[in-house]
Chain A
Amino acid sequence: MTAVTLTVNGAERSLEVEPRTLLVHALRDELRLTGTNVGCDSSSCGACTVLVDGQSAKSCTMFAVQADGADITTIEGVADADGTLHPMQQAFHEHHALQCGYCTPGMVMAAISLVEEYPGLDEHGVRHGLEGNLCRCTGYQNIVDAVLAAAGSGGD
């Protein structure tokens, strides 16, 4: 077992993991942060997207030991403590950018990173930028609308 210290949603967390433990499993099974979903298990679908040092990463394609010392943000950590939604969450809410909701945590995390990385996104940029996040309800139109709205309102 290997000792790993992560800052998760602002709080320092120490845990002992096997080196082969994937970050998503450390978050879900060890830290009980089950908002991050496992989808394809092969780095294609983006359901497991979290922020590592502020940038989107697929937590199924990263060992927890690689994240030692890193700052991790999951979907549980983006709203304010008083429950006020993050602007991206609010935009998803207002634009009904979800159907079954399974892809939503990963979509929101990927979208937060996307608008930060690419200022001035247009529709094509949003669609291209979210290529790595699959919605099997195929509800992409409202997701794109939500991300464009959040980007326009300075939502990051």
Chain B
Amino acid sequence: MIPAAFDYEVAESAEAAISLLAEHGDDAKLLAGGHSLIPMMRYRLATPSVLVDVGRLDDLRYIRAGNGTVSIGALTRHSELEHSAALAEACPLLASVAALVGDPAVRHRGTLGGTLAHADPASDLPAAVLALGGTIVAQGPGGSREIAASDFFTGYFESVLDADEMITEVRVPADRGGWNYQKFNRRAQDWAIVGVAVAGGGSGVSLVNMGSVPVRASGVEAALAGGASAAEAAAVAADGLEPPEDLNADAEYRSHLARVLTERALNAAGVA
């Protein structure tokens, strides 16, 4: 399982990476931690002809908390989120979810910007950013734009990012409200069969692996806002969704898991 041949470019800055993307178009891919892209290249599910390595852009590895917001550089690694005292203080959900991604070796390499750009609906961190109402900052040839996480994901492994855009920063509101993350899987280190992220004492709820994108459980949020109990709100967690079916679970089982895990997550977040 050797990847197809490609040309390798090291970007010395975000601007350089973007101009390389603009030059090579759809044939080029950004390489950050590589823990989603390299396995796909090994299976030849991805065969980019040019890889632009942004993994050395250490100026995009930071976590800054202040004024009610946490700003995180796109190249910040999962292990840095996991061990950041500033993040644990300002936004414990995100630090806690980062600690559940893959295994330690994966977390040493994988990046927050990378996992968002990869847009896998089964990944943990995109759902956490979604539940938190986060913002994704993307830089392109014409400058930067801010994209709400709720507008970012468009389909399996697809987002609104243009081919010549790069995520440079992720912003989440500081959130000390009740929070929890439930990740259900059968094998150690596996992706969630279903996951549920709760932020802000239930004001933000999102689901992992319950559709083609990370899903905001707006029905649950609305029910809670209307005075429903956790159990009543969780009962509508899977309403209107079309969860995927695979070896691990059919749609009915995933829907069941979404309801059960949502209630557990809400209870753990202090919502009765």
Contacts and interface: CB of A to CB of B under 8 A. Distances in A.
Interface string A54-70: 01111001110110000
B200 interface: no
A132 B189 contact: yes
Nearest to A17: B8
B246 interface: no
B189 A131 contact: yes
Contact of A20 (B3, B108, B189): B3
A149 B5 CA distance: 45
A60 to B, nearest CB: 8
B92 to A, nearest CB: 18
B1 A56 contact: no
A66 B2 contact: no
A73 interface: no
B158 interface: no
Given A18-B5, A19-B7, A114-B104, A61 B51 contact: no
Contacts of A20: 2-6, 41
A110 B105 contact: yes
Contacts of A129: 103-104
A45 B79 CA distance: 19
Contacts of A41: 1, 42
Interface of A: 2, 18-20, 22, 41-44, 46, 49, 52, 55-58, 61-63, 65-66, 110, 113-114, 117, 129-133
Nearest to B99: A128
Contact of B55 (A55, A56, A66): A66
Interface stretch (B30-38, B111-119, B147-155): B30-38
A49 B105 contact: yes
Contact of A63 (B1, B7, B38, B102): B38
B102 A61 contact: no
Nearest to A68: B10
B109 interface: yes
Nearest to B4: A20
A58 B5 contact: no
Contacts, number: 82
A98 B91 CA distance: 41
B223 interface: no
A57 B105 contact: yes
B39 interface: yes
8 contacts: A58-B105, A61-B39, A66-B53, A113-B105, A130-B103, A131-B103, A132-B189, A133-B103
B188 interface: yes
A58 B5 CA distance: 21
B106 interface: yes
A132 B103 contact: yes
A52 B103 CA distance: 15
B109 to A, nearest CB: 6
A46 B55 CA distance: 22
Interface string B201-231: 0000000000000000000000000000000
Contacts of B4: 20
A73 to B, nearest CB: 13
Contacts of B38: 22, 43, 61-63
Contact of B104 (A22, A52, A56): A56
A140 to B, nearest CB: 11
A65 B8 contact: yes
A65 B109 CA distance: 14
A55 B109 CA distance: 9
B51 A43 contact: no
Given A41-B1, A63-B38, A132-B104, A19 B109 contact: no
B108 A66 contact: no
B34 A62 contact: yes
Contacts of B83: 117
A2 B53 CA distance: 14
